[in-house]
Amino acid sequence: MTTVPDRTRVRLPDISSRAYEHPADRSALVALRKLTGFDVILRNLAGLFNDRSLRLMFLASSVRASEQQFPQLYQTLLDGAYILDLPTVPELFITQDPIVNAMAIGVDKPFVVITTGMVDLMDAEEIRFVIGHELGHVLSGHTVYRTMLYHLVRLAARLALVPFAWIGLKGVIWGLEEWYRKSELSGDRAGLLAAQDVPAARRALMKLAGGARLGELSADDFLKQAREYDAVPDVREGLIKLLQLQGATHPFAVVRFAELERWAADGEYHDILAGRYPRRGEDSGTSVGDEFRSAAKSYQDSWNRSGDPLIGAVRGVAGSAVSAGERLMNRFGGRRDDNESGDD
């Protein structure tokens, strides 16, 4: 694998997914991975849905990228995997679908799927951001949980006509969807690290909202939209925003744009490009308590920045809940983390 030929990008050897994961996403994943046997149980459950058949479906109905088929996309895939130092390059399938979409799915051997709608919409640098986004999901181990949600949503649709059969399933789906939305923010950060092109990342997110007529779009005005969406004038609109997220797996485009813009301007992004980032070899020593506290701080910072009146109304209650959670983690979680690190 070689780096992209048109300009030099910084390779990030042995980069841990913790370097770019959103704190809320990262804390949930660390906590899940610390539960003994959780991944085994989840993989066994995923096996019931026959992960192999999912790949066969795309192998039969889509085009697998290679040096002969979609060679530019294939090279972009290799570039992204090289920059993020993935242990294995996943397969890339291009499927005929006018809906603009891309996903990374699969349990044992994750693969990436991009629709022709996405390919036709994005230019070469924008698609580099999109593919890097999906590679970030692979490196983070998101694909196990995302594949489960993919199957559960399809199962829920089949059970929708059976009275009460889907209610328990919906609870699991809603929980996974909330995590999924946070994982998308992590994916955007990974996409930026793979592309190392902030304007291209901006364009890609604007196109997801407004289509291909880039000459009629403005990054500054789109960011103003994000601020207006955040600071709605009424508590009722804040509640509507929450309700509109039900059933959504992705944050709205203006939210993703503002979050990535903030991270790109933050010192963390530049530190990573300068080689200052956590390595995978250090992952086993990750503390659940530290990740919880990092997520709590991220939520508090987000609440403090927000102009949403609904968030303002509950900010005090939410802050108290976070403080109580931190005290519990300090009392019990810290002790547990120390014991775990001592055993290692």
**pLDDT for 35:** 53
Element (H, E) at 28: helix 23-34
Please give the pLDDT value at position 145. 73
| 243 pLDDT more than 60 | no
**Out of 82-86, 146-150, 178-182, which region has the weakest mean confidence (pLDDT)?**
146-150
Confidence tier at 180 by pLDDT (50, 70, 90): confident
**Of residues 295 and 268, which shows the higher confidence score?**
268
Would you state the pLDDT for residue 251?
A: 78
Structural domain spans, the chain = 17-223+249-279
Q: Which of 28-42, 201-215, 265-279, 295-309 has the lowest mean pLDDT?
A: 295-309
| Mean pLDDT, the chain, whole residue set | 76
8 torsion bin: left (phi>0), alpha (psi -120 to 50), beta (else)? beta
**What whole-number distance in Å separates Cα of residue 18 and Cα of residue 284?**
12
Cβ atoms of residues 113 and 95 within 8 Å: yes
Bigger pLDDT: 175 or 256?
256
- In the DSSP assignment, the letter for residue 333 is I
In terms of pLDDT, which residue wins out, 166 or 259?
A: 259
Q: What is the distance of C-alpha 85 from the center of its chain?
A: 18
> Is the pLDDT score of 31 beyond 50?
yes
The two structure tokens encoding residue 186: 């992590």
- Given a contact cutoff of 8 angstroms between Cβ atoms, the answer to whether 297 and 23 are in contact is yes
Residue 245: pLDDT over 90: no
- Give the Å distances, CA to CA, from 136 to 15, 69, 184: 11, 23, 10
For residue 40, what pLDDT band results from cuts at 50, 70 and 90? low
> Looking at the chain, how many residues does it have?
344
Q: Is 68 exposed, middle or buried (0-12, 13-18, 19+ CB in 10 A)?
A: exposed
pLDDT-derived band at 313, boundaries 50, 70, 90: very low
Specify the 3-state DSSP secondary structure of 224.
helix
pLDDT tens per residue, range 60-70? 999 999 999 99
In angstroms, how far is the first alpha carbon of the chain from the final one? 35
202 vs 206: CA distance, rounded Å: 6
Strand partners, 102: 114
Structure tokens at 49: 């849905």
Cβ proximity of 166 and 180 under 8 Å: no
CA distance 237 to 221: 21
CA 255/CA 261 separation, integer angstroms = 10
Going from the C-alpha of 143 to that of each of 51, 180, 187, the distances in angstroms are 11, 10, 12
Structure tokens at 282: 């250090």
User: Looking at residues 128-144, what average pLDDT do you find?
Assistant: 92
| Burial class of residue 163 (count of CB atoms within 10 Å of its CB; 0-12, 13-18, 19+) | exposed
Helix axis angle for 334-343 and 288-305, nearest 10°, is 140
Q: How far apart are CA 285 and CA 344, in angstroms?
A: 8
Q: Is 220 exposed, middle or buried (0-12, 13-18, 19+ CB in 10 A)?
A: exposed
